[in-house]
Amino acid sequence: MEHAQRFRVMLSCPDRRGIVAELSRHLADLGATVVAAAQFTAPLSGHFFMRYEVMADGVELTEEGLDSGLRAGMADLLQQADSSLLVRSAQFRPRVALLASKASHCVVDVLQRWRTGELDCDIVCVIANHPHIAENAGWFKVPFHHVDFKDQPKEAAFGAIDGLLDEYDVDVTVLARFMQVFPDDLAHKRAGAMINIHHSFLPSFAGARPYDQAHARGVKLVGATCHYVTPDLDEGPIIDQEVLRISHRDTPADLRRKGRLCEREALARGLRLHIEDRVFVRGNRTVIFD
């Protein structure tokens, strides 16, 4: 079966008896066969989450046709508050922009994983407030843009970034160690589509110099957190985390060196989960079907 005839179906709604049977029946009526399924009901809220991968079974299906057919068939369920449905072709490749500051390890790691096919997306540009990142983007022949944050107001700099993201029609913005705080209006504008890697095992050691904070506290684990960007700094819904064990012998520099391993892994996994439509966001929590 052609790749274009495969789809992802994501349903989120208050739980009730018969949802799985209802959705499966409508999919069958539309000519779709379920090839992978995952579901979960949150025990405290009673909210239901389902992710299906389906393919056409002897019929021609389109994303629009499958979406409209399911919405018509499940109109009563989808009219309930807090209900949502997403139908996406498996052929869809989101357009991704990478933002960076001085450190290059996360940018290079994501670009390498993209180049080797591990990340099923199109990286359309790299934007940085340090010009030397151009070299890293050049290795992978990705367009680079330097946005100066020193000689112009931050409002103007962020306006330039927002303009570039619009110009490239970006679906997902990845803050790959971009050490600037996005203004609230841009965080709202790109809510659910902007991913950050924080060099800390949040919620511990939020803000600046987290490895120094961790060293001063004497922790035995160091980590990194991949999360969605919200107006509340470092408090967005968490997608993925990674940790490494450390010891009293480690200096803050050792923690930063080891922490970079965590940052790369957490960011790559978080981005993959997002672009494969495996993440449900509900409030400040996520449900992940990996």
Q: How many angstroms from the chain centroid is the CA of residue 41?
A: 22
Q: How many angstroms from the chain centroid is the CA of residue 197?
A: 10
Q: Determine contact, residues 136/227, Cβ cutoff 8 Å.
A: no
Q: Exactly one of 109, 234, 250, 277 is catalytic; which is it?
A: 234
Containing 185, the helix (H) or strand (E) segment is helix 184-189
Look at residues 221, 174, 167, 222 and name the one whose alpha carbon lies nearest to residue 196.
Answer: 174
Q: Strands 221-228, 238-245: parallel, antiparallel or unpaired by DSSP? A: antiparallel
- Measured distance CA(144)–CA(135) in Å, rounded: 9
Angle between helices 252-275 and 105-115 (to 10 degrees): 40
Look at residues 267, 224, 270, 217 and name the one whose alpha carbon lies nearest to residue 243.
Answer: 224
| Dihedral sign for Cα atoms in the order 42, 47, 53, 57 | positive
- Measured distance CA(98)–CA(147) in Å, rounded: 13
Q: Determine contact, residues 261/105, Cβ cutoff 8 Å.
A: no
- Measured distance CA(165)–CA(173) in Å, rounded: 8
- Measured distance CA(201)–CA(279) in Å, rounded: 20
* Local structure of 144: helix, strand or coil: strand
250 belongs to the catalytic site = no
Cα–Cα distances in angstroms (integers) from residue 245 to residues 26, 61, 168, 201, 265, in the given order: 49, 49, 40, 12, 15
Q: Report, as residue numbers or ranges, the catalytic residues.
A: 234
